[in-house]
Structure 1
Amino acid sequence: MSRVEVLSPRSPVSFDFDIDVITSCSPRSPSGLSASFPREKRLTNAILAELLYTSSHVVHATEDDSEEVIVVPGLPPVYRGHREFHLRQGVMKAAQLTAECEPDAEKAFFVADLSYVYKQHLRWKKNLPEIEPFYAVKCNPDPYVLRLLAALGAGFDCASNGEINLVLPLVDPSRVIFANPCKATSFIRQSARAGVDMMTFDNTDELHKIARVHPGAKLIIRILTDDSKSLCRLGLKFGAPMVTVPALLGKARELNLDVIGVSFHVGSGSYDSNAFSDAVMRARMVFDMGKDAGYTFTLLDVGGGFEDPTFEASASVLKDAIEQYFPARDNLRIIAEPGRYYVAQAFSLAANVIARRAPPTAEDVDPDSENPSVMYYINDGVYGAFNCILFDHQSPQPYILSLDGSFHVPSTVPLRPSSVWGPTCDSIDCVCSVTQLPSTLQVGDWLAFDNMGAYTICAASQFNGFQVSKVTYTAGGEFGREVREALRTFAS
């Protein structure tokens, strides 16, 4: 098994996040359900059976790894056990709180498996050993994700003072890049005070601001690349066209600023691995332009755009391009800005069916119709975690977490075209316009959504008075033991 070095924290950390501590529900504890809640009693009975079944799949403590829970001051605990186990436990807890008439008892919740983040880091080191990952904080500024990646030696790509303040308690400023080409002057000044020197630019005005308030900055010119094969085309907003680069470098030299390298971004969610090759070629041209302007560049930032399904293909193209255009790399530092690659699949969301609109009788439903005959309403939507539909062009699809008080959904259950909607009083709050769901799905059942870790929590709002869904953490996957050890070592 591959091993990674765990680094020490830069200074003691206490995050002041207002996050409820989510406690476990023991199958041996009284359920507190009265006879007036038959559905909840059925659900609890089903959960007890599931817990007994699942116990054989849960990672238990050993003599040399005895801590069941990782606790960091100011943060929720990190549990053991597989993600599905905690999704089901969350449903069990909701049933108990419902029986106790707790307000918002059935609220939606995330389960984050930190071992997935660890696995992705090992995968990165195996495929791109020369390239230092600087995690894009904007993708998901989760405190445990930041702590774990800091412990594993990653740097951080920040776009604001707020993001810089999140990571500086964890790492040295040299492991931070202020990768926003268009910054407020006050942000640049604060960056200087914090010791964060690496920052990007793509225009003349930015150079004048930096010269005034942070003349010692280590600048990286961000160039425009072909991002037409990406979900989010960042080139619409950022990146200096190649024809403008000589003049920008000339102005930087005139202002006595230190430009140390080149950055690019092929777009967020790139689905064309060859885009990296073209971008590296352009970067090589800018390195040569830098020499003409009197600079010797020592840094290449290959940006983000790494997708989980195509990562190996992109890594191969990127390595080949670097070898072709930068064959001599003794004095070259190469970094990247992966975001969704690390966290997309680490988070799952469980949501409760809070309402339903359907024809009066089953006979009124046309089973052969391709149009949704039933509308389901869940307690998270596009103003919350599903903002990724609007802002990140995602199409999350649900699966059944619990149905009629049971976690077991027979394959023989008939499906019908349905639509899924969020809880707000806004008609754009649509999670799935058409999806196949069991015909027996009712209010009180639970849906789950995987791949909910990227550009979800970070942009969620409390529109219409709905709270942002909270997170239960586990380190129960393949590398759970390594995650717990990394977090313990980092905390100490």
Structure 2
Amino acid sequence: MEEIPGLSIPLTLYAPETAIKDIIGEKIADTSLREEIDDSFYVVDLGKAVEQYETWMKCIPRVHPFYAMKCNHDNPLVKVLAQLGTGFECGSKREIQTVLDCGVKPCDIIYANTCKQESYVKFARQNGVSQMTFDNEDELYKINRVYSDSRLVLRLAPDDNSALTRVSFKYGCPPANAQHLLNVAKGLGLNVVGVSFHVGSVVQNPESYADPIRAARRVFDLATKLGFQMEILDIGGGFPGDLYAQIVPPFQKFADVINRELEQNFAASEFPSLRIISEPGRYFAGPGYTIVLNVIARHTIDYCDDEDDDKKAPEFRYYLNDGLYGSFLNTSYKPVTLIPAFLKERNPDEPKYSSSIWGQTCDGLDFITKSCTMNKLEVGEWVFVEALGAYSMSSCSNFNGFNTPACYYVAPKHLRALLEETFKPDELKT
């Protein structure tokens, strides 16, 4: 492994045959970015985002990805995606500013928060970010006051029952109400240019995209009859890419449904100038982030049978130096039993014990896994969790006074030219 000199972030290149354990071992020894030698940290493989982009463009080339900033706003990741040519979905003033600072053009940003703070709308206007979503009448009156020449996208509320995290109960207009909102926009002289929807997070049924695309076509037709020039279709996010990929179909299954429905409802021959975008978050952010954790404490619970005084197998509580208030908020309510991988090799015949895994704060709710069966861990041992880049760093806090994890950035050697173009000296804010 080698460093690229002169870049605005420390970045290690690795050979194709290098294993993640080898990289982790090197970074455990390198404490230059950590306050304490046993602090948790991320190994961030920026090459994973490049792989995901290449797969996306191969599978659904008509759809331009607009990365969802809320998923992970880590600046090096944003820079790489911007260099590749993605657009960006932003929900706040700070997210818009971060993307603009990375050199992204305003036309490649969509302000996809349907209920916006008025001062943030003014900020978008001042910076030329004109594409924004709405799903209710009062939002139209607000936009008319503040940014009347914006380019509006009507967000629909689809059926998102197949998603682990539903969003339609909070955002989106029922398709039956679309005509009314279009009439209000027309009466105000506002410019509606598209339709969007979001089928939720961690979608388990690829067919969930079919009905919303069909509904979007019906709204396109309604809007066209009112005289609106419809130019944008936004199919939202929900695609696999992080540690939950094990419980959902592969990305190609989603691409097949989307390609089929786009061909049937928005054929390129009928809509030659239509811009089709999407809002993938965990698809890009998830795969490249591996968190490395230290077992800071262990509580052994011994049991004794009162009838025959025979000892039962002990149970173990393990305490790691990250948890619910750090990188694991998004895992606490999902149906995946999270067991970290071990750096230390294990004998296949080694016994396994009933265990639970907890974070380091003093809050009783701070757990990672309440119940599992696993090999015995030692205090001071290092473990890791792969594909944890989605909604992890972005929700980290310093609750109870604990540090947030440092990041060590790596990439495969064949991306040297791209990375040298992306990370120029003094250009990147970290």
TM-score (normalised: structure 1) = 0.79
Assess, with a 3 A threshold, how the Cα gap between structure 1 residues 70 and 229 changes in structure 2: closer, same or farther.
Answer: farther
Matched residue count: 406
Q: Find the counterpart in structure 1 of residue 25 from structure 2.
A: 88
Aligned pair partner of 2:4 in 31, 44, 69: 69
Residue 400 of structure 1: how far off its partner (Å)? 1.1
Confirm or deny: 8 A CA contact 2:302 2:312 kept in the other structure: no
Q: Find the counterpart in structure 2 of residue 424 from structure 1.
A: 361
Q: Find the counterpart in structure 2 of residue 333 from structure 1.
A: 275
Residue 292 of structure 1: how far off its partner (Å)? 2.6
Amino acid at match of 2:343: L
Assess, with a 3 A threshold, how the Cα gap between structure 1 residues 409 and 143 changes in structure 2: closer, same or farther.
Answer: same
Assess, with a 3 A threshold, how the Cα gap between structure 1 residues 103 and 296 changes in structure 2: closer, same or farther.
Answer: closer
Q: Find the counterpart in structure 2 of residue 158 from structure 1.
A: 90
Q: Find the counterpart in structure 1 of residue 105 from structure 2.
A: 172
Residue 105 of structure 1: how far off its partner (Å)? 2.0
Assess, with a 3 A threshold, how the Cα gap between structure 1 residues 184 and 144 changes in structure 2: closer, same or farther.
Answer: same
* SS across alignment from 1:320: helix
Assess, with a 3 A threshold, how the Cα gap between structure 1 residues 70 and 137 changes in structure 2: closer, same or farther.
Answer: farther
Structure 2 distance, partners of 1:365, 1:385, is: 37
Aligned pair partner of 2:228 in 270, 295, 309: 295
Amino acid at match of 1:414: P
Q: Find the counterpart in structure 2 of residue 458 from structure 1.
A: 394
Assess, with a 3 A threshold, how the Cα gap between structure 1 residues 291 and 196 changes in structure 2: closer, same or farther.
Answer: same
Residues 1:258 and 2:187 are matched in the alignment = no
Residues 1:379 and 2:337 are matched in the alignment = no
* Unmatched segments (≥5 aa) in structure 1: 1-57, 61-67, 403-407
Identity of aligned residues (%): 36
Structure 2 distance, partners of 1:357, 1:301, is: 50
Residues 1:228 and 2:161 are matched in the alignment = yes
Q: Find the counterpart in structure 2 of residue 138 from structure 1.
A: 70
Confirm or deny: 8 A CA contact 2:39 2:405 kept in the other structure: yes
Moved more, 159-168 or 356-365: 356-365
Structure 2 distance, partners of 1:366, 1:346, is: 41
* Unmatched segments (≥5 aa) in structure 2: 425-430
Assess, with a 3 A threshold, how the Cα gap between structure 1 residues 454 and 253 changes in structure 2: closer, same or farther.
Answer: same
Residue 389 of structure 1: how far off its partner (Å)? 2.1
The residue correspondences of 1:24-43 to structure 2 (distance < 5 A) are none
Assess, with a 3 A threshold, how the Cα gap between structure 1 residues 112 and 491 changes in structure 2: closer, same or farther.
Answer: closer
Aligned pair partner of 2:330 in 359, 366, 388: 388
Moved more, 426-435 or 190-199: 426-435
Aligned pair partner of 1:246 in 167, 176, 179: 179
* SS across alignment from 1:481: helix
Structure 2 distance, partners of 1:72, 1:134, is: 26
Residues 1:471 and 2:413 are matched in the alignment = no
The CA RMSD measured in Å over matched residues stands at 2.2
Structure 2 distance, partners of 1:154, 1:134, is: 6
TM-score (normalised: structure 2) = 0.90
Assess, with a 3 A threshold, how the Cα gap between structure 1 residues 345 and 143 changes in structure 2: closer, same or farther.
Answer: same
Structure 2 distance, partners of 1:160, 1:474, is: 29
Structure 2 distance, partners of 1:284, 1:419, is: 49
Amino acid at match of 2:97: N
Q: Deviations over 1:347-369 (max 9, x none)?
A: 111111111110469998634xx
Residue 383 of structure 1: how far off its partner (Å)? 0.4
Structure 1 distance, partners of 2:47, 2:382, is: 25
Aligned pair partner of 2:53 in 105, 121, 130: 121
Structure 1 distance, partners of 2:283, 2:311, is: 41
Moved more, 302-311 or 378-387: 302-311
Structure 2 distance, partners of 1:445, 1:468, is: 19
Assess, with a 3 A threshold, how the Cα gap between structure 1 residues 216 and 391 changes in structure 2: closer, same or farther.
Answer: farther
Confirm or deny: 8 A CA contact 1:267 1:304 kept in the other structure: yes
Q: Find the counterpart in structure 1 of residue 346 from structure 2.
A: 409
